[in-house]
Amino acid sequence: MRHVVETGRTVAERYGFDEIATPIFESSAVFKRTLGETSDIVTKEMYTFTDKGGEEITLRPEGTAGVVRALISGGLTQDLPLKFFYAGPMFRYERPQKGRLRQFHQIGVELLGVAEPIADIETIAVGAAVLDALGVLAKTTLELNSLGNQASRAAYRAKLVDYLTDHEARLSTDSKMRLKLNPLRILDSKDEGDRRIIHGAPQFGESLDAESHEFLKQVTAGLRALGIHYVLNDRLVRGLDYYCHTAFEFTTQALGAQGTVLAGGRYDGLIAQMGGSAVPGVGWAAGVERLAMLIDDAPAALRPIAIVAADDAAETPALILAEELRKQGFRVELPHRGNMGRKLKRASKVNARAAVILGSTELAADSATLRDLDSGEQSAIPRAELAARLAAYR
């Protein structure tokens, strides 16, 4: 998991994304305003509490809302455009299963303040680059759709309401309520009966105007120019009004039912809905656990060098040597207890690459005994040459 997060951070940095850290909990209003009062996340999945001051707080179920809240409350709109990377735990009260946990972890990016399609292209590109750096891009498919501009969404909403009204009697109780309050939310319903009705619903593409078609054309042209393969999926939707234009997901067949590993889109209306100015935005989030499960061979942990004091006289010199080597960038294990044999067993247990043995004999000769713990070979090394000889084991 650390490899996933650090890879995401490193790749995002190459694209100019600086890291932001937001609180693990926020005022509940932050998520209710962004996710919608009628969404499953708000009504069924959020961990919400009243704190000692009587304030209602919620453990964050996703990362974008906190970033946008920070943008507004921190006065960061003076510095637009802004590009952020984040990583950390999220919380949802769901039925635990493979790839879905109640405390899970995400990495994500947000690009704020750019309305042009280039922002969508770059945001998708950094996602593809992260997956490629992790060695899992070939296991995924980039699915892409356009949700259109505000005018297109309004036209689609009218068509959707007409269609769903004809099927209202068969909708779930939750979706009947959403039909009056926010019909686009029904598109995100997990109810099987709702899903069957939605399958026959009008498609977004039927309502796209010329501007929306042009936006999608520029995004797809940019992806092709970068060699990023995609497939259009007109059933890929987002049920909240602030989403627009590009929606995308990297999906896989390798994780069973939990097939989405990275998902995002453009949300030009979100910041204004939260009380800020009309700042456009686009971003994505990826599940760290799901990405970790896709990786065949994570990099092995750095093997340490063990510093072994053979007798009491060498305890303090061994401590000093360990500190010197750590300052030079080595990972060092300093076994603390027992005789030399027990300390060497400890070195093997932590998978040390080599052991530096110090005893009265070595101290008198201003040297150390270097033992290769893989081959068993050992030799006496002058103390002044020790760091250079250890470089091979770094």
Edge-first strand listing for the sheet containing 48-50: 25-27, 56-59, 48-50
The backbone torsions φ and ψ at residue 226, rounded to the nearest 5 degrees and listed phi first, read -90, 0
Q: Write out pLDDT tens, residues 255-279.
A: 876 689 999 999 998 999 899 999 9
Structure tokens belonging to residue 66: 């906190």
Cβ atoms 77, 277 nearer than 8 A: yes
Query: Is residue 382 classed exposed, middle or buried when 0-12, 13-18 and 19+ CB atoms within 10 A define those classes?
Result: exposed
Radius of gyration of the chain (CA): 28
pLDDT at position 347 is 94
**Mean pLDDT throughout 111-117?**
97
* 38 — pLDDT class (breaks 50, 70, 90): low
d(CA 151, CA 171): 27
What structural domains does the chain harbor?
A: 2-149+209-294 (3.30.930.10), 305-393 (3.40.50.800)
Cβ atoms 378, 372 nearer than 8 A: yes
**Angle of CA points 274, 278, 279, to nearest 5°:** 95
What mean pLDDT is reported for the chain?
Answer: 92
Least confident segment among 40-44, 200-204, 247-251, 273-277: 40-44
What is the SS3 assignment for 209? coil
What is the SS3 assignment for 97? strand
CA distances 35 to 43, 187, 191, 282, Å, are 10, 14, 18, 16
Q: Write out pLDDT tens, residues 169-215.
A: 999 988 898 888 778 878 878 789 998 998 888 888 889 999 999 99
pLDDT at position 180 is 83
Q: Write out pLDDT tens, residues 61-76.
A: 999 999 999 999 999 9
Cβ atoms 282, 293 nearer than 8 A: no
The backbone torsions φ and ψ at residue 383, rounded to the nearest 5 degrees and listed phi first, read -55, -35
**Mean pLDDT throughout 69-89?**
95
pLDDT over 70 (residue 36): no
Q: Write out pLDDT tens, residues 133-170.
A: 999 999 999 999 999 998 998 898 899 999 999 999 99
pLDDT at position 330 is 94
Structure tokens belonging to residue 196: 């069957």
pLDDT at position 237 is 81
d(CA 81, CA 292): 31
Residues 6+ apart with CB under 8 A from 376: none
